[in-house]
Amino acid sequence: MAKNLLIVESPAKAKTINKYLGKDFHVLASYGHVRDLVPKEGAVDTARGFAMNYEVIDRNEKHVDAIAKAAAKAEALYLATDLDREGEAISWHIAEILKARGLLEGRALHRVVFSEITPRAIKDAVAHPRALSMDLVNAQQARRALDYLVGFNLSPVLWRKVQRGLSAGRVQSPALRMIVEREEEIEAFKAREYWTVEADCAHPDQRFSARLLRLRGKKFEQFDLTNEADAEAARSALEKAAQGRLMVANIESKERKRRPAPPFTTSTLQQEAARKLGFTTSRTMKIAQGLYEGVSIGDEGVVGLITYMRTDAVHLSAEAIAEMREVIVKDFGAKALPETPHFYRNKSKNAQEAHEAIRPTTALHRPRDVAPYLNDEQRKLYELIWKRAIACQMQHATLNTVSVDLDPGMDSMFRASGTTVVDPGFLAVYEEGRDAKPTEDEDEGRKLPKMEIGEAVPLLAVAADQHFTEPPPRYSEASLVKALEEYGIGRPSTYASIIQVLLNREYVILDSRRFKPTDVGRAVAKFLSGHFTQYVDYDFTAKLEDELDAVSRGEEDWVPLLEKFWKPFKAQVDDKSETVDRSEATGARELGTDPKSGKPVQVRLGRYGPFAQIGTKDDEDKPKFASLRTGQSMHTITLEEALELFKLPRTLGKGEDGEDITVGVGRFGPFVKHGSTYASLKPEDDPYTIELERALLLMREKAELIANRIIKDFGNGIQVLNGRYGPYISDGEKNARIPKDKEPRELTEAECVELLAAAPVRPKRGGGRFGKGRGAKNAKGDAKPAAAAAKKVAAKKAPAKKSVAKKSAAKKAPATKKAAKKAVKKKAATKA
């Protein structure tokens, strides 16, 4: 057994590092976090100094046991988890678990960190270990406690006031507010008309266009011409004054330098990968993780290709810069290399977390050389990282911009501009993507013909073009990450998870790769902004992040920070739980009056989503309800559109038995109904236009499905059925799997009873299409209590059941012992 045990987070990393350290080291993975707060109220004890009640995560218990077993045989322990707060906390949790099990006595405990997985970096880290940083650990504990306190206290308020199943996050909520506010800006936007005027010039050497710069002695502004009549008058006057030519009044040539962008941070990598590669933030991080942990590169074996990918630093090590400069000279010539290296200032205030920027572990691993060993996504992302890092150390680009002023007469002026690249410098390798191109770069790549002052340039025509202002665009993943970073919301490691949480909770959807809030998301954002304003405030969230950073630097204590947050937050939660009206919280909106009944029409958010309502609960007749259609929003729907919804249910005709066939929309979407049988519409079917013939086809398909569903029916509620995932047994209350060695058609009643008795009781999943209990009826629609039928059969077979029960009990005894052992382990791992 190796005398040293080194623990990392991922098995891929463990495999790579094991090859570097040799037989004296045994490398194991923790598989991420090993402990977390117990998933129930009171996990953070606010009355006892915010004591955290931890337990070992179930899925990682076997990995913790493997680490403990290896630690018992090792002489020294090396904790080599990631170098950020999360990594530091994982190392501390592992140490606490081993300490509770008495496995640290007489053993040296070391913390080692590295930002790249290369033999040199790993060996150097092991040779220079440090102690665990409790400042970083406490910063992570404070963040976890804050997130827990917000989630466990704010989410129940959302359940009661807005909709069941909702949740609020400390960092996700301001991000959601950002997306919702942008949507409201778009909806409130009113387009303005404006006209541009351009001259089409026919120079003998090259045709080009020039835009109007001055009109009748005044600088031409965007909204100087706002209608067709004025635009046409100006166009006609300019064309008439010019008399077929424009005089060159002035020529200005200006040289400028463009400097390369700094190497990637987590944020800029996510933005650029979204712009250039179309990767989501979570996809980018997953691919980068694989490149960091190691890829098999031919004879070299497994090699970590990039440095640590969670960083907000932009500086590079002296060794990395020296190697990059050598590669630049070899690949692009000495002219592409600046006299001195470029140094970039690190924006992070956290000296302890100011790692290097994301770069290749060695610039000698050129993209073309490693491409055969990478999949397509890895290749694209690695090439992006390599080119950005190399470009940041290259010579600036030199651009030459020529502006020519052309006089048509009547004290007006046109201007034509062109920009040519004198020396590409870093642009030969890489150009940073931008969401919006700067004005000075609009004419880049456009070359004008040689002209002289006083020269007459032939004019073909003057054109006036109509335009309308556009609303601000919705956030893309790139622009959202950029905005979060600018506001100081979240940190490099959290951007991907913030976005994923918003998508998973269906608070937002991606529409043409841009974030659009759902009605539920808008209701949550509006409720939080209106009643918990401070806690979704951008400045407040950013200030809290700064304070957590201060804890990580040892400048602030974490417990007073939590106390300062907790007391006013809890008081506000208690107050809003009592005082906020639910109808206001769900964003109810009055649309107008129903012309038929004279009753008010409104839309609001309900348990199963947004719906329209005619009438109120105080009316003598019950209100009418109708769900909104896919793509409709309660914030933009009109009265006319809402009234259309009440055309459902509609009767299409009658079946062969004379019963009506109707179409409607229920909790699970649009359906057709014949008697007591329902059939869901297909995606291509529209409940408002579907015809009888199509409905009959859907009903026939459903009838065939029901007929084929029953494999065997014992007539007492117990059936063998065909299900979505294969045959199974059901008594209407419980479902049981059929063993692989059993033929479903040959099962006896007694065997079915036995299998149902052994099956676990699963909680019901709420109501049916109209909220009635699911599983209450069998496949035929019988409403007999199947449990009673099962009991009757069981009584008939009493002796057999007794022996089965005995056998089952005997088998389960060891499992009980194991569960008790597991409970002891969890207790030992708990920190008061």
Please report which helix (H) or strand (E) contains residue 55, including its range: strand 54-56
Distance between CA atoms of residues 113 and 308, nearest Å: 11
Cβ contact 50:29 at 8 Å: no
Residues 6 or more apart whose CB falls under 8 angstroms from that of 568 comprise none
Cβ contact 478:435 at 8 Å: yes
Cβ contact 620:608 at 8 Å: no
Which tokens go with 730? 């059901």
Helices then strands, counting H and E runs in the chain, come out as: 23, 31
Helix/strand/coil (H, E, C) string of 500-566? HHHHHCCCEEEECCEEEECHHHHHHHHHHHHHCHHHHCHHHHHHHHHHHHHHHCCCCCHHHHHHHHH
Which tokens go with 36? 């977390």
Which tokens go with 382? 């690695």
Q: What one-character DSSP code corresponds to residue 476?
A: B
- 487 catalytic? Reply is no
| Terminal alpha carbon distance of the chain | 35
Residues 6 or more apart whose CB falls under 8 angstroms from that of 398 comprise 255, 256, 257, 421, 422, 423, 425
Torsion sign, CA atoms 95, 97, 100, 106: negative
Catalytic residue among 308, 382, 430, 728: 308
Which residue in the block uniquely carries the two structure tokens 């077979």? 797
Which tokens go with 409? 């007469």
Cis peptide bond N-terminal to 649, omega within 30: yes
Please report which helix (H) or strand (E) contains residue 729, including its range: strand 726-730
Distance between CA atoms of residues 327 and 394, nearest Å: 10
∠ CA 810-812-818 to the nearest 5 degrees? 130
Kindly list the distances between the CA atom of residue 314 and the CA atoms of 8, 382, 393, in Å, as whole numbers in the listed order. Answer: 25, 18, 12
Kindly list the distances between the CA atom of residue 106 and the CA atoms of 75, 77, 96, in Å, as whole numbers in the listed order. Answer: 8, 11, 15
Which tokens go with 327? 């590669």
> Coil, strand or helix: which one is 608?
coil
Distance between CA atoms of residues 452 and 438, nearest Å: 28
Q: Which residues pair with 602 in a beta bridge?
A: 590, 613
Beta strands in 558-630 (DSSP E): 589-593, 600-606, 609-614, 624-627
Strands 25-29 and 51-52: unpaired
Long-range Cβ pairs for the range 628-635 (8 Å, 24+) = 628/519, 628/603, 629/665, 633/519, 634/519, 634/587, 634/589, 634/603, 634/604, 634/605, 634/610, 635/187, 635/519, 635/522, 635/587, 635/589
Quick one: which of 615, 619, 607, 608 has its CA closest to 582? Answer: 607
Quick one: which of 147, 183, 182, 139 has its CA closest to 168? Answer: 147
Distance between CA atoms of residues 285 and 276, nearest Å: 15
Beta strands in 205-308 (DSSP E): 207-215, 218-219, 245-258, 295-296, 302-303
Cβ contact 154:171 at 8 Å: no
- Positions annotated as catalytic residues are 308
